[in-house]
Amino acid sequence: MTSGPTWTIAQIAEEFGVTHRTVRHYEDLGLISPERQGTRRIYHRRDRTRLGLILRGKRLGFPLEEIRTIVDLFDAPRGRRAQLEYVLGQIDERRADLEQRLRDAQDALRELDQFERRCRDDLEKLG
Amino acid sequence: MTSGPTWTIAQIAEEFGVTHRTVRHYEDLGLISPERQGTRRIYHRRDRTRLGLILRGKRLGFPLEEIRTIVDLFDAPRGRRAQLEYVLGQIDERRADLEQRLRDAQDALRELDQFERRCRDDLEKLG
DNA sequence: ATCGTGCTTTACGTTGACGTAAAGGTCAAC
DNA sequence: GTTGACCTTTACGTCAACGTAAAGCACGAT
C-alpha cells in the first residue's frame, strides 16, 4: 500500500536531532502515528513531514497540544462545507498567531542591529 | 534620583496581561529588579521595558534563563574592549537564533496561505 | 545456542514556569 | 481601632516536555 523509503525510530531521531524518547512522546500525544511491523515502528515520508512541522512549531514556542490541532488540520477530511469553513476559521487564528511571532522576531532583530551599532561605535571610540 | 512615573506590581501585571506571581517569578530569576520602598516593589520605566523584552522572548519560545542573558546584555557595562567584543559575539549568536525564528514564521505563513487556497478551491467546487 | 544490537513497554524522575494557598504586614478609610 | 484593599514572604502543588532506568522481545552474527 504506502510504499517508498522507510526509517526506524533511531534514524529519524538522529536525523532531526532529537532523542527516540522525544519521538515516542510525540506519538503518545497523538502527533505522529507510525506504521507498525509487528511491534516495531516504521516511519514514512509523511511522518517525517509531520515531525518537521512539529519541531518548527516548537521553535516558534507553540505547546505540543496546540501543534497537534494544527498538524491535524492539514490532514483533516474537509469534505463537507461546514468542515471547510471551520478549517478556514482555524487558519485565520493560526495566521494571527504566526504574524505576531513574525513581528516579534523582526522587532527583536531590529533592536539587535541597533544595539550592535552602538557597540561598534563604542569600540571605535576606544581606538 | 531615578524619577518619573512608577507602578505597583498589580498595575504592571494587569497592563502586561500576566499575574503578579509571574512578575515575582521573573524577579526571583533575576530578570527584573524593581526598586523597594520599605518592603513594597516600585516599578519604573526600565522595568517595564525589561518586562516587555521578557514577554516577547517568551512568545518566541526562548527559556527564561536565556532571556536573562539577553536582557542583561543590553544593560551590561561594556566599558572595556574585551567586554565589547564579548557582547558583539553574543549579538551574533542571538541574531542567528532570531533569523531562524523569522524563517520559521515566514515558512509557516506561506504554507498556511497555500493551504487556505486549497481549501477555498474545495469550497468553490462545492458550489 | 547465546551474544549483541536495536527495538519495545512501563514507570518513576526532573526541570521550567508558574499556580495556589497560608499567614502575615501596612495604610487609608470608615 | 478595626475593617478592607493591597502588598509581602514562604512553601508546597501542578503541568508540560521530556529524561532515565528497568526489564524484556526479536533477530542476525558468531
B17 touches strand C (CB under 7 A): no
The nt closest to A21 (CA vs C1′) is D18
Q: Are B60 and A92 in contact (CB under 8 A)?
A: no
Q: Nearest Cβ partner of B109 from A102, A107, A126?
A: A102
Instruction: Supply the angle between the helices A64-75 and A45-59 in degrees, to the nearest 10.
Output: 140
The CA-based angle B66-A99-B111, given to 5 degrees, is 105
Arithmetic mean of pLDDT over chain B: 95
- CA of A104: how far to CAs of A107, A115, B45, B88, in Å? 5, 16, 20, 21
Which pLDDT belongs to residue B79?
85
The residues with which A7 forms a beta bridge, in sequence order, are A43
- Amino acid identity of residue A3, one-letter, is S
B74 contacts on A by Cβ (under 8 Å): 115
Percent of chain B with pLDDT over 90: 91
Flag whether residue A115 sits within 8 Å of chain B, measured between CB atoms: yes
A87 contacts on B by Cβ (under 8 Å): 119
Task: Give the other-Cβ count within 10 Å of A21's Cβ.
Answer: 10
Q: pLDDT, tens digit, for every residue of B86-108? A: 999 999 999 999 999 999 999 99
Confidence category of residue A2, pLDDT binned at 50, 70, 90: low
Task: Report helix, strand or coil for A35.
Answer: strand
Q: Nearest Cβ partner of A112 from B62, B98, B115?
A: B98
Q: What is the least distance, in Å, from the CA of A38 to any CA of chain B?
A: 35
Q: Test A104 with B78 for CB contact under 8 angstroms.
A: no
Residue A10 CA to D29 C1' — how many Å? 21
Which pLDDT belongs to residue B3?
77
Confidence category of residue A79, pLDDT binned at 50, 70, 90: confident
Arithmetic mean of pLDDT over chain A: 95
Provide mean pLDDT across the span A46-54: 97
Which pLDDT belongs to residue A1?
52
pLDDT tops 70 at residue A87: yes
Provide mean pLDDT across the span A18-39: 97
Provide mean pLDDT across the span A34-51: 96
Percent of chain B with pLDDT over 70: 98
Provide mean pLDDT across the span B38-66: 97
Confidence category of residue A86, pLDDT binned at 50, 70, 90: very high
Provide mean pLDDT across the span B122-127: 90
Q: pLDDT, tens digit, for every residue of B1-28? A: 557 999 999 999 999 999 999 999 999 9
B19 touches strand C (CB under 7 A): yes
